[in-house]
A and B are shown apart, each in its own frame.
Chain A
């Protein structure tokens, strides 16, 4: 590769890209927001949540892992794709115990903000699984409420790649796959409040809880009270 840039289109808008860039990276730079939950700045891409599914050349691909290619035609904001994404987000809500009214992440939660963005307000026919999961509050500074976990794996990648600790990992398979810690409880691990895995924003939901921070921000001043998820990226384009 010579490293020369090329262009492709997302929803008819020409987007510049470098070889090796994914569709999502190029879209972010161009100020086009592709919804995502498992992708996070500074972490390697996973392509797990599939909320970033786009149609590239007619094929459904995850935009966070698919490399951009010259003259690729990408569809992003279409009713069909947003319906697929809404179903995925809805299933995440049904898979765990997501009680926004009492959750300290409410208003800062990417899952909730994604549901807002994708208009998740119609009556649903999926059953609520209501799993019974324990809350781990053993650590003096951190609590872990896996009722709210969406298995995005962001804490796993942050702990492995950034902190070099590997505190978090997946256990189980299929629908039983969950995020767990590498000891009996969180207090027995070497997790620390300074870890990138514990940093505010790494966990998209209210699963990893930084103690003594809950409900500190009043309603109206929380992250997604100021605008829908992705507005920071979309604002780049408007400027």
Chain B
């Protein structure tokens, strides 16, 4: 292996809100050093839509709510040595998973779609249909945490995680000395 090769990092947002990617920017000025130490591959930060090479670290934001999310996540597992679930959505489904447990509903997904596109009080949908274009990825019955789809190596909790914990975790994983978080460093909210 080439000694001088920079570790490669890929990131993606699945059923997330991009808040965790924004939280990566909260690393602030330390980002400059980190950018010199690593190379970003597939990521919204580089606009690369496919993997150009195998990556060392894959950072996942968001859970899986449609088939495309699952395929992308599987692609990340295949192409990354280490997968990090970043934020509560990737870890446990997060807020979108609220639709899995809507009270008094046997078909929560259908109710969500109908509320959003047909029955909602302020909807102006001239087609009176739930969007069904073939280009749209098929929605899953539930929102799944990433760890129920592929093996996840590390998770960074938070909604969104703070810049400090992202920086500390990334740098210690890159240095090969990650041994868990300190008790007061992580939060679930």
Contact = CB atoms under 8 A, between A and B. Distances in A.
B121 to A, nearest CB: 21
B183 interface: yes
B95 to A, nearest CB: 7
Interface in B89-127: 91-95, 97-98, 100-105
Of A102, A123, A134, the most chain B CB neighbours within 10 A belong to A123
Contacts of B184: 116, 228
Contact of A130 (B100, B152, B189): B100
A132 B189 contact: no
A124 B103 CA distance: 26
B181 interface: yes
What secondary structure prevails in chain A residues at the interface with B? loop
Contact of B155 (A106, A123, A135): A123
Contacts of B79: none
A124 B155 CA distance: 10
A102 B17 CA distance: 15
A228 B148 contact: no
B147 A100 contact: no
Contact of A128 (B97, B154, B187): B97
B188 A97 contact: no
A196 interface: no
B88 interface: yes
A117 B187 CA distance: 11
Of B92, B97, B180, B189, the most chain A CB neighbours within 10 A belong to B189
Interface residues of B, number: 35
A128 B92 contact: yes
A123 B154 contact: yes
What secondary structure prevails in chain B residues at the interface with A? loop
Interface string A96-134: 010111110011000010011101011111011011111
B186 interface: yes
A55 B181 CA distance: 27
A21 to B, nearest CB: 29
B159 interface: yes
Contacts of A125: 147
A33 B76 CA distance: 43
Given A101-B94, A133-B103, A147-B101, A123 B153 contact: yes
B189 A121 contact: no
A101 B97 CA distance: 12
B155 to A, nearest CB: 5
A219 B98 CA distance: 23
B145 A128 contact: yes
Given A100-B88, A100-B159, A121-B181, A127 B100 contact: no
A91 to B, nearest CB: 13
Given A101-B94, A117-B183, A228-B184, A124 B100 contact: no
A119 B186 CA distance: 9
B16 interface: no
A132 B103 contact: yes
16 contacts: A99-B94, A99-B97, A101-B88, A101-B94, A101-B159, A106-B189, A112-B188, A119-B181, A121-B156, A121-B180, A122-B180, A123-B151, A123-B154, A128-B145, A130-B142, A134-B103
**A-B pairs, 7 with minimum CB distance:** A101-B159, A100-B188, A106-B189, A130-B101, A100-B189, A123-B152, A130-B100
Given A97-B101, A119-B180, 7 more contacts: A99-B98, A116-B186, A116-B187, A119-B183, A121-B156, A121-B186, A128-B93
Interface of A: 93, 97, 99-103, 106-107, 112, 115-117, 119, 121-125, 127-128, 130-135, 147, 219, 228
Interface of B: 85, 88, 91-95, 97-98, 100-105, 142, 145, 147-148, 151-157, 159, 180-181, 183-184, 186-189
